[in-house]
Chain A
Amino acid sequence: MEFGGINPVILIASLMVAAVPIMLAALGELVVEKSGVLNLGVEGMMIVGAICGFITAVQTGSPVMGFLGGAVGGAALSLVFAFLTQVLLANQVATGLALTLFGLGFASLMGQGYNGIKPPPTLSVPMGPLADIPALGPILFDHDWMVYMSIALVAVVWWVLKATRLGLIIRAVGESHEAAHALGYKVNRIRLGCIAFGGAMAGLGGAYVSLVRVPQWVDGITAGAGWIALAIVVFASWRPWRVLIGAYLFGGITVLQLNLQAAGSAIPVEYLSMSPYLITILVLVIMSSGRGRAALNAPASLGQNFHAAR
């Protein structure tokens, strides 16, 4: 079964892989923003996660340790942001941008001497005969474990935010930090935890780029994925499952446009290249046109620092 020379099964299977880094980073940022903090340093945390994960994986020979290292690296960098914005009450937008610039340079410094090394391979999860089922096999049962993990994490974040006490507290802090404070919640500490979680997720996404997607280290490897992750959070109007849809849509169109080119499609390349961004804009317009519901769903205290005066 083919459409215009493109096999949809292979296309879906590759878009699921292409979407993992932006999905993980966006999911982390979603939790951060739900707690009322705007961290624009996703790109910086991703690339630090990419190099930390790469170094750990090369040194230990284990991709699992690599992903762990990536998460720790991303979280460590995010704590710099947390210290500046939650303790010293620095402006979040400026600090986030600085974090990205710092992360890019710092990752490049750490990566000296790691060019041209191949990390240990992350293999597909062996699913036995399941992977041989036509159509469903390649889509559902022939991926590495991070692909399944990323989907599981979406479910976990959704469940925690929606159905647990912890989720309620995070949302309360993000909607009205004054009220949450009055109830006795430690606003800045809760936010610090969320920022560290967001950093760890961005680091995981970065590690996926350097360990699976482009299995090697080169400077500037994330190439703007962090910014796309930030856009997807807004696109998803702060809802976890929509993050999954947004990441798959964006990853899918990116993969599709390259596939269309390779298949010799008659559509001019320029239109294909701009299509992911065009569709992002279109969906944003459509979603926010519904009586401003998307805007209403933004956490009310987003981007505001909290200082406990009383």
Chain B
Amino acid sequence: MLRRTLMTTAALGLGLALTGGAALAAGMDHVKACFVYVGPIGDGGWTYQHHQGALAVQEAFGDKVEVQWQESVPEGADAERVLTQMALGGCNIIFTTSFGYMDPTNAVAAKFPDVKFEHATGFMRNSENVSTYNARFYEGRAVQGTIAGRMTKSNKIGYIASFPIPEVVMGINSYYLHAKKVNPDVELSVVWAYTWFDPAKEADAAKALIDQGVDVIASHTDSTAPLAEAAKTNGAVIGFGQASDMAEYKDGPRVSSIIDNWAPYYVKRVGALLDGSYAQADAWEGIAGGEVGIGEITAAVPAEVKAEAEAMRDAIAAGTYHPFTGPINKQDGSAWLAEGQTAPDGDLLGMDFYVEGITGDIPK
């Protein structure tokens, strides 16, 4: 029964795609926008920010848009089921908000050519209805690295990494390079948590870093647990808000933050679908485009360091500085970027190496 329904819908979809090209170009009266989240909205970080974007879409278009979402969808076969369900349930555009949804998104998109799919942080666009979008978080990491290099007293800085994917490796490299630039003695410890969201494990990872003498912690996981752990040291250890501002730790360890702001992109894409100007895209905006925000740098940071970090932020926003500007060698000493050369996007999106000076290996 289900298969028959599915086939009918697929056939219907195919028919629509063939005949409906003109109709689509003329726009739509009503759009159902659906969101798939990897964690709970209440994580206070990554998923929370995506949900803020979804709410902004609702706000912007009112009753012309129906927003639907599902939380805590595991990356893998379950995601494929959820996506199929959403496509069958009348979603016109589906945003899949985690790297691990890449294969399910493309697989389901191939079956539903009349539904638009938008995959966050991925690079695979196998069919015409799949777009990808991402934010240049490494720009924010450059600002964090500058603060970390200046603020560390033990010269040991830490990074709680999630999974060994280019996105994360890029962040580690940018963070380290900019800490090293202002403080040549700095050493980086990386802990791989192998999770996006597990507060207890994130707290343990932060504790392990603190036990090793690390006094500045950046994290690439979704919850506020590392900051809560740093808060127990009464100011000896500082950290950064990740994905969301995490302003509740402002009077504690949080000295700045990277804020993901997906709202402009979501509003733009759903708006394009409504007015008929929608086209496949590969979006990768950064500080300049407003997708990456740098949260307020608190008074715990000396004024001159704050000014230096803000100058870095403004230079990146203005396009006068690229966080990966040569000369930069790879970890094994071989040359990556020559003097003055900036990293091509292709290199960044496939980044699977540490830069020179970082110890340890990236898990394969």
Chain B 230-253, CB-CB to A under 8 Å as 1, else 0, gives: 011000000000000010100000
> What chain A residues lie within 8 Å of B232 (beta carbons)?
215
Q: A215-B228, A219-B42, A221-B199 are in contact. Are A255 and B212 (CB under 8 A)?
A: no
On chain A, the residues within 8 Å of B189 by CB distance are 261-264
List the one stretch of A27-35, A108-116, A129-137, A182-190 in contact with chain B: A108-116
Q: Do B208 and A218 touch (CB < 8 A)?
A: no
Inter-chain contacts of A11 with B (CB < 8 A):
211
Other-chain contact of A115, B42, B192, B203 (Cβ < 8 Å):
B42
Binding stretch for chain B, among A76-84, A265-273, A289-297: A265-273
Q: Is the CB of B66 closer than 8 A to any CB of chain A? A: no
Q: Which residues of A contact B204 (CB under 8 A)?
A: 18, 254-255, 258
Interface status of A5 (Cβ within 8 A of chain B): yes
B281 located at the interface, meaning its Cβ lies under 8 Å from any Cβ of chain A in the complex: no
Task: Answer yes or no: B191 CB below 8 A from chain A CBs.
Answer: yes
A300 surroundings in chain B (CB, below 8 A): none
Q: Which residues of the other chain, A, contact B194 by a CB distance below 8 angstroms? A: 269, 273
**Are A218 and B44 in contact, with the CB atoms below 8 A?**
yes
Cβ–Cβ contact A262 & B42, under 8 A = no
Does A162 interact with chain B (Cβ within 8 Å)? no
With A214-B225, A262-B209 as contacts: A223 and B199 at CB distance below 8 Å: yes
Distance between Cα atoms of A228 and B80 in the complex (Å): 29
Which residues in window 167-222 of B have CB below 8 A to A? Answer: 189-192, 194, 197-205, 207-209, 211-212, 214
Q: Which of A6, A7, A223, A261 is close to B200, meaning CB atoms less than 8 Å apart? A: A223
A-B contact count (CB 8 A): 110
Contact B361 A268 (CB under 8 A): yes
Nearest chain A CB to B331 CB, angstrom units: 13
Q: Which one of A14, A118, A220, A259 contacts B197 once the chains associate, using CB atoms below 8 Å?
A: A220
Pick the most buried of A115, A118, A219, A270: most chain B CB atoms within 10 A of its CB: A219
Q: Tell me, rounded to whole Å, the shortest Cβ–Cβ distance linking A267 to chain B.
A: 10
A209 at the interface (CB under 8 A from B): yes
Q: How far is the CA of A222 from the CA of B228 in the complex (A)?
A: 16
Which chain A residues lie closer than 8 Å to B211 at the CB level? Answer: 7, 10-11, 14, 259, 262
A213 contacts B by Cβ under 8 Å:
yes
Q: Does A216 contact B (CB under 8 A)?
A: yes
* Interface residues in B19-47 (C-beta closer than 8 Å to A): 39-44
Report the minimum CB–CB distance from B132 to chain A (whole Å).
Answer: 27
Contact B42 A108 (CB under 8 A): yes
Q: Are A118's CB and B248's CB within 8 A?
A: yes
B200 touches A209 (CB 8 A): yes
B208 and A262 within 8 A (CB): yes
**Interface contact B228-A111, CB-CB below 8 Å:** no
Chain A contact-residue range equals 35 or more
The docked-state distance in angstroms from the alpha carbon of A117 to that of B71 is 21
B203 and A214 within 8 A (CB):
yes
Question: B201 touching A223 by the CB < 8 A rule?
Answer: yes
Shortest CB distance A281–B (Å): 19
Residue B212 contacts which of A117, A217, A262, A268 (CB distance < 8 angstroms)?
A: A262
Choose among B42, B231, B359, B363 the residue that contacts A264 (Cβ–Cβ < 8 A): B359
Nearest-Cβ distance from residue A264 to partner chain B, whole angstroms: 5
B98 an interface residue at 8 Å Cβ cutoff? no
- Inside 8 A of A259's CB, which chain B residues have their CB? 208, 211-212
With CB as the reference atom, state the residue of chain B lying closest to A7: B211
What is the bound-complex CA distance between A246 and B285, given in angstroms? 49
* Contact present for B40 and A219 (CB under 8 Å): yes
A6 vs B189: C-alpha distance in the bound complex, in angstroms?
13
B223 is an interface residue with CB less than 8 A from chain A: yes
Kindly identify, within residues 1 to 58 of chain A, every residue whose CB is under 8 Å from any CB belonging to chain B: 5-7, 10-11, 14, 18, 21
Q: Which of A18, A218, A264 contacts B40 (CB 8 A)?
A: A218
B224 part of interface (Cβ distance < 8 Å): yes
Q: How far is the CA of A215 from the CA of B225 in the complex (A)?
A: 8
Q: Does B158 contact A (CB under 8 A)?
A: yes
Chain A residue nearest to B204 in the complex (CB): A258
The 7 closest A-B pairs by CB, nearest first: A219-B40, A258-B208, A262-B212, A214-B199, A269-B363, A223-B198, A262-B208
A213-B200, A222-B200, A269-B192 are known contacts; what are 7 more A-B pairs with Cβ within 8 Å? A214-B225, A216-B225, A218-B223, A220-B72, A255-B208, A258-B191, A263-B189
Which B residues are closer than 8 A to A by beta carbons?
39-44, 71-72, 158, 189-192, 194, 197-205, 207-209, 211-212, 214, 223-225, 228-229, 231-232, 246, 248, 359-361, 363
9 contacts between A and B (CB under 8 A): A217-B42, A218-B40, A218-B42, A220-B197, A255-B204, A259-B208, A261-B189, A262-B189, A264-B189
